[in-house]
Structure 1
């Protein structure tokens, strides 16, 4: 998929908010609920003011706006170049043959497409304007705008899907984030709250495992077929034996990518797409058919293409749930087609001859993934013992990595893989082993009682 190859210069959000205030037109009258639900503290982080301003200006619930942005980009303010579907920025304002939220935002805010694409606060403001426009068109009254559950139809429309089940998947993703709460890497947060979205006509849209019906090729997958313009009907293996698996990143959201494959103008597809949050998988092209995913016809005819939700340059998307679910599929594929489980046959898009893409990029952990594909799939556990205060959690396997959190003394942690890092002395001796307990979250094994002296058997090496 399309890869972000450069980043725009970072802009001061305060100055940009002054710009958007001057250009965006009259301010809508907002109730307190539009900015934040009762009892929910204001979010912190560099983008919080931008969300507050956009929510107030267009009378859109702030947390709903943040959840939509988190679903699209994990609130990454450095999203500059377009996604695979022609979407820009934190809020994925899109410009393609099917979705025109970028142009709509320009008309509503009187900001130029260039500003809306590149400047984070303008991008957020544009999305709020589009959502409010959709709400007005559905007849959502001023009083009803206070209730986040009434915004389901505008959110579903914002995603741009034409298939009702994919539209529901998109909107449900946003409401699930409101239900569970979330915190971005930069500190913007939304607290969990009960939600009961009013789905209207989409209530009847079948959603099984996320999409309509189940795949007949791979049991865990849902089935949402790509447009026939985006793949070639075939009868593989036949004269085209499948001998490779090609790993991609979507450069966009899960539901958005599935919807893009259904757009006849896309001219691209993949056999399978995985969701970051929980490893859910949807199939869009039958394995017997040729997906247009590798940019090389010979490789297309002889490979299975697997997309993974997220962006090459943001490691927050690379979750253990997605790694493990994807590896299970690749293990199944290699068994069925007799493909060797090595790096010569399980490759990245970047390794396809003539490739102009860089996915899955430097954040993809090939060592870990191949271990999972080859059956090293165990998850260990341990009990934290600091003998005093909380234990620092770091972003990498070493004391020099930034602190990204902490775990309490006596807490039980899951160990997804183990890595060699800096040497640390703790209650369980001196060791250079570090335990990965989450996405980019590591603690020294010197402070974790696992029941083993050293590496845990059958737990992968990071």
Structure 2
């Protein structure tokens, strides 16, 4: 939550003749609530907050989950996301020192880690958890770990904000709009709360509690979140303009500039992708970095606590964010405040919703398909050549909830063919799909991560649970051996990705993955993948193997004399006869040449060489259309 700390006044009027702390104590002494639904009912009655409103605010913060008492990426706890402002959050550089975020082999590698002094750890922000402790008499530990105490604390805060605003304690949720905006950090949050009130919601929480909010279709809200005039955002999202600098860094060197390239998209090039990142640093640090000329820039940053959006680059300009120049030049980069390896940390519903609203808008404006081959994670972007595979980034990682995200994008992921189809889409149940990753604790990298649901599945060399993981000779050049590290996606397939089926044995399914059969347990009672219709590519008859590429660049003949030819470098993987890979797109080769601060020398080279995008492993890759034949599967 993002708000100013309120004046804490405990008044008898909050509950007839009772102070807030006294009321909370009497409720706690009355007995233990048996269900989460009852807790909301009792807390709403205690603090005279409309029950539906309390449910809707909590849904937008946490979807009613307890999250095992662990903090969100913005140090919020419990169903009401009470933030502990005494906590500090560690930082990591976005670039990590290995990946060249620009990914343009025609220029020197961009490794900005040394160019920016390491930001200091940031405080979590507003301290609503300790405010709630003072209001209710509950301990800070109870508010962190006990969902019932947490819900009462959130209700007490809402009641206090309503009093501070001199608003009536009405049963009509509409009269609480300003208090909700204060609780969540602004008008956009409040508007989303009222959207939830209109549609209703029902789900089973991460600790097995069934909670339902009945729809109130006719409810109205007041107020709107205005976008800054310079931003490109859907109406009402409340986007802020925080521009990234375009500067020449050395007066005598026109090739030394930062931290992005000016362009004229989509007139100059079609925008094909939106890339989802996490920041690996607190939101204020991310904004400091994107404003640094010697660093790198992306298009948007979204704050975890309340879903606030800052835009840094116009969509027409090219950010240096994905580690692959071909993808950079045809994508929009969206950073989300968060940390890949903090398995116990969680994103708020507010962040997911604001991100989905933004991506829906951008996809509609630029014609980007709403599927997992075009809404990519940074971890799905291919390396530009064999030497750059190992250093590519892994965010947002296995804890990003792609299934929920696509539901919010109004493109829910579902089966489109029978269970025996020749193509499958990975679709585990996020909440129950608990994979035993390691590496969440930097001080003990071999220790297990906290148990947590996730959107990825592990792939094995044989149809048995104790079989070795499949190999990735790009990520692990020495022996290909994959690990269970949360940072290692070598043997993982992610929600929404589509693969050609290679084999089936009993309850096990094999897919073609990085040139090999990759097995996963897929019983009817707990499906990890569903059948889909699609198209697969296989090598043309007579070819033993075909090359795959990390960039879809033009043929040499297409380059004008003043633009250096970009060599097509086949990857180290094998796409052999007899194998098949899901085709996820088609395009002709293009290359955006931009090397100097003065944009007069820019060129977009367009060729006649046609490529198909395929789901080859965890990342997408490209094959020449002339090397393969396509086959529909149902």
TM-score by length of 1: 0.51
The reply on whether 1:188 has 2:211 as its aligned counterpart is yes
Cα 1:138–1:221, aligned 2, differ >3 Å: closer, same or farther? closer
Cα 1:401–1:94, aligned 2, differ >3 Å: closer, same or farther? closer
Cα 1:268–1:128, aligned 2, differ >3 Å: closer, same or farther? farther
Q: Offset of 1:396 from its aligned partner?
A: 2.5
- 2:46 paired residue number: 57
* Distance in 2 of aligned mates of 1:421 and 1:74: 38
* Distance in 2 of aligned mates of 1:115 and 1:215: 42
Residues 354-374 of structure 1: CA distance to partner in whole angstroms, max 9, x if unpaired?
Answer: x9xx952323599xx9xxxxx
Q: Offset of 1:112 from its aligned partner?
A: 2.2
- 2:498 paired residue number: 418
- 1:67 paired residue number: 56
Give the secondary structure class of the aligned counterpart of 2:64. Answer: coil
Q: Is the 8 A contact 2:25 2:136 kept in 1?
A: no
Q: Offset of 1:50 from its aligned partner?
A: 2.5
Q: Offset of 1:233 from its aligned partner?
A: 4.2
Cα 1:157–1:424, aligned 2, differ >3 Å: closer, same or farther? farther
Q: 1:248 aligns with which of 269, 277, 287?
A: 277
- 2:247 paired residue number: 235
The reply on whether 1:25 has 2:14 as its aligned counterpart is no
Q: Is the 8 A contact 1:394 1:401 kept in 2?
A: no
* Distance in 1 of aligned mates of 2:502 and 2:155: 45
- 1:389 paired residue number: none
Q: Is the 8 A contact 2:188 2:237 kept in 1?
A: no
* Distance in 2 of aligned mates of 1:53 and 1:311: 35
Give the secondary structure class of the aligned counterpart of 1:189. Answer: strand
Q: Is the 8 A contact 1:64 1:178 kept in 2?
A: yes
* Distance in 2 of aligned mates of 1:57 and 1:221: 33
- 1:130 paired residue number: 157
* Distance in 1 of aligned mates of 2:26 and 2:204: 31
Give the secondary structure class of the aligned counterpart of 1:99. Answer: coil
- Structure ID, larger Rg: 2
Q: 1:78 aligns with which of 67, 86, 89?
A: 67
Paired residue total: 333
Q: 1:172 aligns with which of 191, 204, 216?
A: 191
* Ranges in structure 2 where 5+ consecutive residues have no aligned partner: 1-19, 28-32, 86-122, 249-254, 262-273, 291-297, 323-330, 370-377, 406-410, 435-494, 512-519, 537-579, 586-613, 619-634
Residues 106-149 of structure 1: CA distance to partner in whole angstroms, max 9, x if unpaired?
Answer: 1110122232123222111100000011122333334x2x1122
Residues 259-309 of structure 1: CA distance to partner in whole angstroms, max 9, x if unpaired?
Answer: x95x79986777414699xxx9944323699x9x99xxxxxxxx9963248
* Distance in 2 of aligned mates of 1:421 and 1:46: 46
* Distance in 2 of aligned mates of 1:27 and 1:152: 24
| 1:362-441 correspondence to structure 2 within 5 Å | 362-364=398-400, 382=416, 396=428, 417-419=497-499, 423=504
Q: Offset of 1:175 from its aligned partner?
A: 1.0
| 1:273-292 correspondence to structure 2 within 5 Å | 273=301, 282-286=309-313
Q: Is the 8 A contact 2:39 2:151 kept in 1?
A: yes
Q: Offset of 1:176 from its aligned partner?
A: 0.8
- 1:151 paired residue number: 176
| 1:300-315 correspondence to structure 2 within 5 Å | 306-308=334-336, 313=343
